[in-house]
Chains A and B, each alone.
Chain A
Amino acid sequence: MKSNQYSIKVFEATIEDENKFLAFIDANYELFKHHLLCLQGDIPQRVQQYLEKKSLKYINNFDFPKAKKIKDNFIMPHHEEQKCKESCKVISEPLRSGQYVEHAGDVVVAERINSGAKVVAKGNVIALNVVNGDISSMGDFILVGDTQKSNILFHGVKIDNTLLENRLNKIEFVDNEIVIKAISKKELTWV
């Protein structure tokens, strides 16, 4: 006889709230990739589809020999965290010519905004890399570096590029006037 013996981690759960369950699995996906999920009770169709799409292995209503219980460091998805995710969009790819990002909240762009690309935000815009494209913000501020070729609108007002020198700039309202301030590196760490 040829045989193999494995010990696997089983995660047992009963689904009460579909959304909370999905958020939980999503937040811990990296861990669950290597688990077998044992779901007791009914599995809603959406959950089934999600598990299948993510190729997570699961069994339903299965009574297995109970072994030692272990504690894992699962992340409980936080309510506020999700709210923040919704209001702040982070872009980590370069924005290329013709690409258009519109968002109701804040937008953080970590890579370049190339000539011909456009970011339109109801909230703040933070552009950490070179900007040669267009930015429009209706938020409290725009944070942007040296950008001679860009086209920046703050609350519909075109910002004069010559005022954006070789440094990091914060464009904001002070007493109903648009003010451009140089930002030091120190301040940035907590922005």
Chain B
Amino acid sequence: MGMIIAVISGKGGVGKTTATANIGLGIAMYGRKCVVVDFDIGQRNLDMILGLENRVVYDLVQVMDGEASLKQALIKSKSNENLYFLAASQTKDKSVLVSSKIKKLVDELSLQFEYVILDAPAGIESGYEHTIEFADSAIIIVNPEVSSIRDSDRAIGILDSKSQKVKDGEEVDKYLIINRIIPEMVQSGDMLSSEDILEILNIKLLGKVAEDKGVVEASNQGTPIILNPKSLAGAAYKRIAARLCGDNIPIQEPTVHNKGLVGKLKGLFS
């Protein structure tokens, strides 16, 4: 049985979908079979970040309603054959989700894939609750700012009270990714440090991802940043995926970008 991982944040726009795409691809590149599922019903965009929007024929709601088979709806990634994608419905809203059907779907997926990654919608409403309902573990994405941290804290509280695993008396594993770290700002004390965040949220750290302008461009082009060997964020996601696959890689601190001599000279003349 594969592992079911929900990617959550509470607050919107912190990088869940970006993380889902990159971690999924990273796991696939590591050689494991992985499926990424867009649970953001009505606001899908995982398809775009993976560059697969023109391949979507059937979505997960149709699979749950028996209008399409799982095989018909699963889309193979163009960059790695270990990665598959299941799209959200764009025309329906999240009220169509029903627990029993979700359970059936994720159970089926976990038979076929080693990793089943669910991209949660923003917020803590029913769409969120359905995403975490049958998860074995959760990846919590935060940005280093107080509102993101408080909203994640809230989402973790709900995870710890409403997921099926907790109701059965077990624990849902929780892993933290701190995304969009700007090292210069952390150094000058203008941005919350990772230690502060970990102290508040009190969960395991899975990785730190720096702010990286390449991310937006990569998303626009539908080629996840992990495919860019020069990107710092891409390298961070590669390490995160390896950790999820059981590799014991130490956490790397995003460092202050040190302008070389050429950079300094350029600075003089600009």
Contacts and interface: CB of A to CB of B under 8 A. Distances in A.
A94 B150 contact: no
Interface string A112-124: 1011100000000
A114 B160 CA distance: 15
B150 A111 contact: no
Interface residues of A, number: 13
Interface in A92-112: 93-94, 96-99, 111-112
B200 interface: yes
Contacts of B154: 96-98, 116
A97 B150 contact: yes
Contacts of B122: none
A111 B153 CA distance: 14
Contacts of B60: none
Do most interface residues of chain A lie in helix, strand or loop, or is the interface mixed?
A: loop
A117 to B, nearest CB: 8
A111 B202 CA distance: 10
A111 B158 CA distance: 18
Nearest to A114: B153
Contacts of B160: 93, 96
Contacts of B129: none
Contacts of A132: 200
A111 B150 CA distance: 16
Interface in B128-161: 146, 150-151, 153-154, 156-158, 160
Contacts of B150: 97, 114-116
Do most interface residues of chain B lie in helix, strand or loop, or is the interface mixed?
A: helix
B129 to A, nearest CB: 13
A97 B202 contact: no
A50 to B, nearest CB: 16
Interface string A64-97: 0000000000000000000000000000011011
Contacts of A93: 160
A131 to B, nearest CB: 12
A130 B154 CA distance: 17
B157 A98 contact: yes
A98 B200 contact: no
Contacts of B153: 96-98, 114-116
Given A115-B150, A115-B153, A116-B150, A98 B158 contact: yes
Contacts of B156: 96
A53 to B, nearest CB: 11
Contacts of B200: 112, 114, 132
A147 to B, nearest CB: 14
Contacts of B124: 98
Nearest to A149: B146
Given A114-B150, A115-B150, A116-B150, A99 B202 contact: no
A90 B214 CA distance: 48
Contacts of B202: 94, 111-112
A23 B199 CA distance: 38
A15 B31 CA distance: 60
Contacts of A96: 153-154, 156-157, 160
B258 to A, nearest CB: 35
A146 to B, nearest CB: 14
Interface of B: 124, 146, 150-151, 153-154, 156-158, 160, 199-200, 202
18 contacts: A93-B160, A96-B154, A97-B151, A97-B153, A97-B154, A98-B124, A98-B153, A98-B154, A98-B157, A98-B158, A111-B202, A112-B199, A112-B200, A112-B202, A114-B200, A115-B146, A115-B153, A116-B153
